[in-house]
Chain A
Amino acid sequence: MKPLYLYPLWIRAWHWINALLFITLIISGASLHYAGGNGFLAFETAILIHNIAGILLTIAWLVFFIGNFFTDNGKHYRIQLKGIISRLIQQSLYYAVGIFRGDAHPFHVSTEMKFNTLQQLTYIGVMYTLLPLLIASGWFFLFAAHLPDKIMGIGSIWIVAMTHLVVAYLLILFMVSHIYIITTGETIFTNLRAMLTGWHKER
């Protein structure tokens, strides 16, 4: 198969910066959430790191969002509704059964669509729902002093905090799954290499 240039430099830079920020935010966030426990960062250090990394994550997300408007990368996030259910079932069955039997991958990467349907829906959920929620709740945290005391009888900081926490847990879950799923390419390193070099190569 002819090598495909799927990941331009800005996407790769954004991806790895995002990955670094995710790890930084998880470590500093856990240090804040489980403050006082052993093996975590000092609270005052963690809060500084978390705030800076959070602001950088916002910038990174804006780069992604705007980049998808001005480049053709956005097309990979447009859902093709026709046959979506069967594609989802097909992909799920492959991960659940076919992958162990050595079946051929049901989806073939192309410059028109680099994500399989399951991947696409997950990324859309992460990038257009979970991350905006995480970022918005993070900014509300930063300006918590200006929030009203209560929203519909519940403490506003409580709502913000629980949203931030639950979304953070979901994103950790995504990150763990994402790290594993990238090993399911033609070889374990096919997808990782593609995100490093930009070129997707298969035999």
Chain B
Amino acid sequence: MKNSKYMKISVFLILLTTAHVGFANEANNTKNVVCWRCHGMETLAYRDKLTGEIVNLYVNPQQYQQSNHRHLECTTCHTADFSIYPHPDSVKSENLYCLDCHQDEPKFIPSRFPFLSEKRAPRNQFSEIERAFKNSVHATQEQFSCFSCHDPHQFKISRVGEEMTEIVRHGNEICLNCHASPITPSATELSLSHQWLPNLLLHWRSVRCVECHTPATSHFSHQVLSAAQSAKNCVQCHSKEATLLTRLYKYRSQEEGQSWFNKAVFNKAYIIGMSRNETIDRWSLIILLLTIAGLLAHGFGRFIATRRKNK
């Protein structure tokens, strides 16, 4: 009887806690929940009468809540007549641009870069991005915008802490969405144009496309290079001074803090030419040199002994 009473109280407390958590989440996105009632449905889409293309209107609420924009209400960016339901046709002409928010408003410019201290972080990062993009091969494509690669509903500037394979997969997925689309012949072209890479599959699994297809700068550049301009120099990554350490592997150094070079080396990834274990190399070479010295001394001893004997 007593146990039953305690059980009832426990169940009530659990329900109360669950309800509270649910309410709290909802409270953070009160207005967004209204939008997600429709836009949270995976099948929400329409066929554009002019282009005939399917326009996807689905926003994954879970991914949105993990994104950098999670604190924003939908209407912070979508300022057209979305408050009217059904939405009028006029909303289709809404033209969003990242720099609308990120250009001038200091509070929308990330103060903390995943890899750089605040002092080193470029203040005008978005202007730099725009400038780099204008020099990018993508700038030659009409209707190419930030959203072609970055979905603002799930965008995360830093993926520090995630598995490296996941970072690579996510990064490459952005490129492959267009460059290996099954409805274009580009998937085959992509394999053929990368045939020069030894162990192609391993490269594709281990590094992001942007490792080679952007200039080797101290921070990530949005200047996507043409095939002809892209890195084909193996030692750019496969050497001790690998640019990879300043790019993809920054995630690891950031994640694991101190002694980032050794952490990169001792972690699961191994890159020929870059991942050198200083201790193994040093001791192996010392033992080798001592052996050679010992053998030479032995040989010299034999030589002296033979000469004495012959005398």
Hey, which bits of chain A sit against chain B, CB under 8 A? 32-37, 43-44, 47-48, 51, 95, 99-102, 142, 144-146, 149-150, 154-158, 160-162, 165-166, 169, 172-173, 176-177, 180, 183-184
Contact = CB atoms under 8 A, between A and B. Distances in A.
Given A166-B280, A169-B284, A32 B273 contact: yes
26 contacts: A32-B273, A35-B235, A35-B272, A36-B240, A37-B239, A43-B273, A44-B234, A95-B298, A100-B305, A101-B305, A102-B305, A102-B306, A102-B309, A142-B199, A144-B202, A149-B165, A157-B269, A160-B270, A161-B275, A162-B277, A169-B280, A169-B284, A172-B288, A173-B288, A176-B292, A176-B295
Interface string B268-311: 11101101110010001001100110010011011001100100
A183 B275 CA distance: 38
A184 to B, nearest CB: 8
Contacts of A142: 199
A47 B198 contact: yes
B273 A34 contact: yes
B307 to A, nearest CB: 11
Interface string B237-251: 011110000000000
B170 interface: no
A180 B269 contact: no
A187 to B, nearest CB: 10
A136 B272 CA distance: 17
A36 B238 contact: yes
Nearest to B273: A35
B266 to A, nearest CB: 8
Contacts of B298: 95, 180
Interface string B256-275: 00000000001111101101
B164 to A, nearest CB: 9
Contacts of B219: none
A interface, over-half SS: helix
A149 B284 CA distance: 28
B134 interface: no
B201 interface: yes
A35 B288 contact: no
A48 B306 CA distance: 46
Contacts, number: 97
A98 to B, nearest CB: 10
A167 to B, nearest CB: 11
B87 interface: no
B205 interface: yes
Given A144-B199, A165-B280, 9 more contacts: A35-B239, A48-B198, A146-B201, A155-B267, A155-B269, A155-B270, A161-B270, A169-B288, A176-B292
Contacts of A156: 268
A67 B277 CA distance: 38
Given A157-B270, A180-B299, A145 B202 contact: yes
A158 B270 contact: yes
A149 B268 contact: yes
B273 A180 contact: no
B238 A35 contact: yes
B241 A36 contact: yes
A158 B270 CA distance: 5
Interface in B206-254: 234-235, 238-241
Contacts of A34: 273, 276
Contacts of A101: 305
